[in-house]
Amino acid sequence: MKVMIVGSGGREHSLVWKIGQSPRVSKLFCAPGNAGIAQMAECIDIPVTDLEALAAFADKSGVDLTVVGPEVPLTMGVVDFFEERGLRIFGPHKDAAEIEGSKVFCKELMSKYGIPTAQFQAFKERNEAAEYVEHIGAPVVVKADGLAAGKGVIPSMTKEDALEALNKIMVERAFGDAGKRVVIEEFLIGEEASFIVLTDGETVVPFASSQDHKPIYDGDRGPNTGGMGAYSPAPVVTEEVHKKIMDEIMIPITKGMASEGRPYRGVLYGGLMIKDGQVKVLEFNARFGDPENQPIMMRMRGDIIPLLEACIDGNLQKGSIDWDPRWAVCVVMASKGYPGSYEKNKVIQGLDRVMKREDVFVFHAGTARAGEDIVTNGGRVIGVTALGEDARRAIDLAYSAARKIKWDGVYFRSDIGKRALDRPR
Ligand code: AMP
Ligand code: GLY
């Protein structure tokens, strides 16, 4: 079969890598892809938001299945658009993807179905929001309602910070229409984990747990990024916590979406805060995680295609996916300046020096080809991912591979996975 992946990040490279291993796949396309993806798929220069061109390409090229990575085309309704044209596609419909596209919708849904989450209020008027901040005080988290590439969430340690966040979102409109409404919520403390499931709208099958590293600097300091590294499994998700997450969060939210007449079909990502075995939802995403998907795909055994098809066809079976018991650690290597402004087109050296082994893989994110060279083309550039018998070995292997790769202005955190070491499984 011919498969097209939509997107161009590390998440999409790991999907191309995994889907390409399926014996059923004869041809892979990726729109628009990157320099690493181009080594395993035919990249087509179509932006992820050009639904018309994507569907026309899938139709003309006889694509049997399209798999969507990023949230923007999902919230634009790419799945509905393809299906209306008789094209097969994996991902949630537009009305279901709203779980990520609108934080107000997501929070109200959680309240309605009793899903544990931070206390919150939603506002469309800046002055009312400001009064509420004056009333409840700090710390609080101010969130733009709509999509803002992970930047619309502003944890505020003082009232002044929160008021400034409100101005940025609602007055300056730093995130455009995403800031028409805001959610102001209780500041939660604890340890975060990513709990990602596959669902056909009814049956829910969990992926291996994982943990992201959002802030740019070691020790979780500095501004949030799209994710500077990830590992799987996340020891904070003990067996007991796992059961709680399935029973009190993932299954009820899936049922809730169905009751709302918005059955959720695809990958559902729960961003969770865990403290003393209690779990609260920070957010839901309507897609695979990035960078979490890199370690998760490295650990997934067997063919992923039947799982994706079962979600589409509504016959996903209970019973878990077979996971490699080894740990997987992904170290993201970024451009200096990210998540602020950064330069591009730096020649990446040493990619060919990374050992060619089954347990190490370099997933490309923001890379492009320039003649013979591969150059940087984004904030997050590559994700070096390694498997190891334990967290220590996976971390050491990922870092020893990462240190072979260089460019002018390369930056990466040096403590990815440290929390897993501090807390034995
Ligand atoms: P979100 O996009 O809602 O997951 O938020 C992005 C990041 O902001 C999360 O991964 C957390 O690190 C942080 N965050 C979001 N909501 C809260 C909260 N209520 N309390 C503390 N931190 C939060
Ligand atoms: N790593 C965070 C996300 O995928 O949203």
Q: What is the pLDDT of residues 22-72, one digit of tens each?
A: 999 999 999 999 999 999 999 999 999 999 999 999 999 999 999 999 999
With b for 16 or more beta-carbon neighbours within 10 A and e for fewer, the 192-208 pattern comes to: bbbbbbbbbbebbbbbb
**pLDDT of 362:** 97
Residue nearest to atom 11 of ligand 1 (CA): 282
CA 64/CA 202 separation, integer angstroms: 24
Q: Enter the pTM of the model.
A: 0.96
Residue nearest to atom 4 of ligand 2 (CA): 289
| Ligand 2 center–CA 377 separation, angstroms | 20
List Cα–Cα distances, 335 to 341, 342, 366, in angstroms. 9, 6, 9
CA 197/CA 405 separation, integer angstroms: 33
Which residue spans within 98-247 are E strands per DSSP? 120-123, 140-144, 153-156, 182-186, 191-199, 204-206, 211-212, 215-217, 221-224, 229-232
Q: For residue 289, give the ligand 2 atom closest to its CA.
A: 4
Contacting residues for 416 by C-beta, under 8 A, at least 6 apart: 213, 228, 229, 230, 231, 329, 330, 331, 332, 395, 398
CA 145/CA 240 separation, integer angstroms: 32
For residue range 341-390, what is the model confidence (pLDDT) as tens digits? Answer: 999 999 999 999 887 888 999 999 999 999 999 999 999 999 999 999 99
| Ligand 2 center–CA 194 separation, angstroms | 8
| Ligand 1 center–CA 394 separation, angstroms | 27
317: its two tokens: 């079976």
To test the ligand 1 pocket, which listed residue (106, 153, 191) has its Cβ within 8 A of the most ligand atoms?
Answer: 153
Tokens 């334990």 correspond to what residue?
390
**pLDDT of 53:** 98
Q: What residue ranges define each of the domains in the chain, with the CATH number in brackets?
A: 2-91 (3.40.50.20), 119-185 (3.30.1490.20), 191-323 (3.30.470.20), 327-422 (3.90.600.10)
Residue nearest to atom 6 of ligand 1 (CA): 153
Within 13 Å of residue 290, how many CA atoms lie on the same side as its CB? Answer: 26
Kindly tell me if the per-residue pLDDT of 210 is higher than 80: yes
Q: For residue 227, give the ligand 2 atom closest to its CA.
A: 1
| Closest to 242 in 3D by CA, of 267, 274, 287, 268 | 274
Point out which residues pair with 215 in neighbouring strands. 224
| Closest to 184 in 3D by CA, of 101, 253, 126, 269 | 126
**pLDDT of 151:** 82
CA 332/CA 411 separation, integer angstroms: 9
| Ligand 1 center–CA 387 separation, angstroms | 28
At 424, the pLDDT band (50, 70, 90 cuts) reads low
For residue range 240-250, what is the model confidence (pLDDT) as tens digits? Answer: 999 999 999 99
| Ligand 1 center–CA 377 separation, angstroms | 27
Using CB atoms within 10 Å of the CB of residue 241, give its burial: 0 to 12 exposed, 13 to 18 middle, 19+ buried: buried
The pLDDT mean for the chain works out to 96
Question: What residue ranges line ligand 2, CB within 6 angstroms?
Answer: 212, 227, 285, 289-290, 292
For residue range 270-280, what is the model confidence (pLDDT) as tens digits? Answer: 999 999 999 99
CA 187/CA 266 separation, integer angstroms: 30
**pLDDT of 319:** 80
Helix (H, G, I), strand (E, B) or coil at 251: helix
**pLDDT of 288:** 98
Output helix, strand, coil percentages for the chain, rounded to the nearest 5: 35, 30, 40
Kindly tell me if the per-residue pLDDT of 425 is higher than 70: no
Question: What residue ranges line ligand 1, CB within 6 angstroms?
Answer: 118, 141, 143, 153, 155, 185-188, 192, 214, 224, 271, 282-283
Chain mean position to CA 318: 24
Residue nearest to atom 3 of ligand 2 (CA): 289
Ligand nearest to the CA of 285: 2
